[in-house]
A and B are shown apart, each in its own frame.
Chain A
């Protein structure tokens, strides 16, 4: 008994060490997925918080101007450029998301080519080359600046249920989708009283994924990228149809260039698992799953369509 401590070697045997390492490995293996899930949940919440801030910003804008800001540009002159380039809602909302200083730098908001520079010229670059945290979702692992250092972001406003330029109907043989109005139009915004489908069942703003390389999805300083439509569902495999710079190679979402038979469109997309975050006009934030029926999602996209929307 008394001499046993001398007979035992000090320290651990190899087997003991291996067992301990194996146990630790198993514990880490159990823990790691949990940590990942918590991280994903946290970034999803951060993303929803951004949507809440934007919704509050839109409501503050509405308090001042009695209507929502124009989606693309408030200009009345259409140079054949379809309100592309003189300041989108992302500029209009700046004073209401505590970016008053940036808004003061921006020139020619609400103007046209006869009154000043576009978004990609002169001092406006000081505003459009910046990245705004409140416009960036943390699940976006590679925020992009596709052209000349001008930034893409992760949120787009609701342009209704047909196409970005709000064609009255989209017909595909026996299927017809009729435009049911929207909170945002290319050159004007709607007063909340015009949203007769109900503010809690009409979408205001949702997520998009930033295109990589020269792809312009999420390039919200430029008209056609400022909005999304509900023509196709959240994270649909249906390709987006930008008018130019479509790059469908990985990791970009699918796309093909818009044509007369397949008008300009950008759909709600996210890198969260199973759906997208969206803000409703009443300021509530929801997570909408990819499995929402297309008729319900289109009903949520229209502001005056008169659709009956029950649970989703």
Chain B
């Protein structure tokens, strides 16, 4: 093999290596999903938030709860680490405003979920760097 050809092969190998590992510095996000029940019944609607306990690196991500399930896809997922969890569900108590009326007064729905699962949350989870993470919450 001639010298210039050897050199070009080496260069090619280096380029291939860089393109393989070049994107390794990007933080990897992991998808999350699970189910949420309150007193044994699926939570109809609401939201879940995952607050990073290391906010200088992490992201706040979350999802809507629909028929007792939530799902955060990989592209919006969480970094590995510990999170404090908030779960919230609105309770309209028959006062839901008419969506076809020009809005005026600001309506405030009541909170259906006990505060030990939102403002005074005691729920903590650890996202593991293993692909799909499943967290089910059975609230009382």
Q: Which residues of A contact B134 (CB under 8 A)?
A: none
A60 contacts the other chain (CB 8 A): no
B97 contacts the other chain (CB 8 A): yes
Please tell me if the beta carbons of A172 and B51 are within 8 angstroms of each other in the complex: yes
Q: How many residues of A contact B (CB 8 A)?
A: 52
- The segment out of A38-46, A78-86, A279-287 that lies at the interface is A78-86
B86 contacts the other chain (CB 8 A): yes
Q: A264-B106, A294-B58 are in contact. Are A256 and B111 (CB under 8 A)?
A: no
B120 contacts the other chain (CB 8 A): yes
CB-based nearest A residue for B97 = A244
Please tell me if the beta carbons of A244 and B103 are within 8 angstroms of each other in the complex: yes
B41 contacts the other chain (CB 8 A): no
User: Which residues between 247 and 286 of chain A lie within 8 Å of chain B, taking CB atoms?
Assistant: 248, 254-262, 264
User: Which residues between 7 and 48 of chain B lie within 8 Å of chain A, taking CB atoms?
Assistant: 26-27, 45-47
Instruction: State the majority secondary structure of interface residues on B.
Output: loop
A307 CB to nearest B CB, Å: 10
- The distance in angstroms between the C-alpha atoms of A128 and B84, with both chains bound, is 42
B133 contacts the other chain (CB 8 A): no
Please tell me if the beta carbons of A257 and B109 are within 8 angstroms of each other in the complex: yes
Total contacts A to B, CB within 8 angstroms? 163
Please tell me if the beta carbons of B61 and A258 are within 8 angstroms of each other in the complex: no
CB-based nearest A residue for B63 = A237
A245 contacts the other chain (CB 8 A): yes
Please tell me if the beta carbons of B89 and A259 are within 8 angstroms of each other in the complex: yes
Q: Which residues of B contact A81 (CB under 8 A)?
A: 104-106
A33 contacts the other chain (CB 8 A): no
Please tell me if the beta carbons of A174 and B53 are within 8 angstroms of each other in the complex: yes
Q: Which residues of A contact B55 (CB under 8 A)?
A: 175, 293-295, 298
Please tell me if the beta carbons of B119 and A216 are within 8 angstroms of each other in the complex: no
B98 CB to nearest A CB, Å: 9
Please tell me if the beta carbons of B106 and A223 are within 8 angstroms of each other in the complex: yes
Please tell me if the beta carbons of B115 and A261 are within 8 angstroms of each other in the complex: yes
Please tell me if the beta carbons of A262 and B88 are within 8 angstroms of each other in the complex: yes
A22 contacts the other chain (CB 8 A): no
Please tell me if the beta carbons of A291 and B59 are within 8 angstroms of each other in the complex: yes
- The distance in angstroms between the C-alpha atoms of A298 and B59, with both chains bound, is 11
Q: Which residues of A contact B118 (CB under 8 A)?
A: 172, 261-262
- The distance in angstroms between the C-alpha atoms of A64 and B100, with both chains bound, is 38
B43 CB to nearest A CB, Å: 11
Q: Which residues of B contact A95 (CB under 8 A)?
A: none
Q: Which residues of A contact B96 (CB under 8 A)?
A: 244
- The distance in angstroms between the C-alpha atoms of A122 and B49, with both chains bound, is 42
A291 CB to nearest B CB, Å: 7
CB-based nearest B residue for A255 = B64
- The distance in angstroms between the C-alpha atoms of A172 and B123, with both chains bound, is 9
Please tell me if the beta carbons of A239 and B64 are within 8 angstroms of each other in the complex: yes
Please tell me if the beta carbons of B60 and A238 are within 8 angstroms of each other in the complex: yes
- The distance in angstroms between the C-alpha atoms of A254 and B66, with both chains bound, is 11
Please tell me if the beta carbons of A222 and B103 are within 8 angstroms of each other in the complex: yes
CB-based nearest B residue for A259 = B111
B80 contacts the other chain (CB 8 A): no
Please tell me if the beta carbons of B104 and A237 are within 8 angstroms of each other in the complex: no
A171 contacts the other chain (CB 8 A): yes
**Chain B residues near A (Cβ < 8 Å):** 26-27, 45-47, 49, 51-53, 55-66, 72-73, 76, 84-86, 88-92, 96-97, 99-113, 115, 118-124
Q: List 18 A-B contacts (CB under 8 A).
A: A79-B105, A80-B105, A118-B104, A172-B49, A172-B85, A172-B118, A173-B85, A173-B122, A173-B124, A175-B84, A237-B63, A238-B49, A239-B62, A244-B99, A245-B103, A262-B47, A294-B52, A294-B60
Identify 15 new A-B residue pairs, CB closer than 8 A, beyond the known A171-B119, A173-B86, A173-B124.
A172-B119, A173-B122, A174-B53, A175-B51, A175-B53, A175-B55, A237-B62, A243-B106, A254-B64, A256-B89, A258-B108, A258-B109, A259-B88, A261-B88, A261-B111
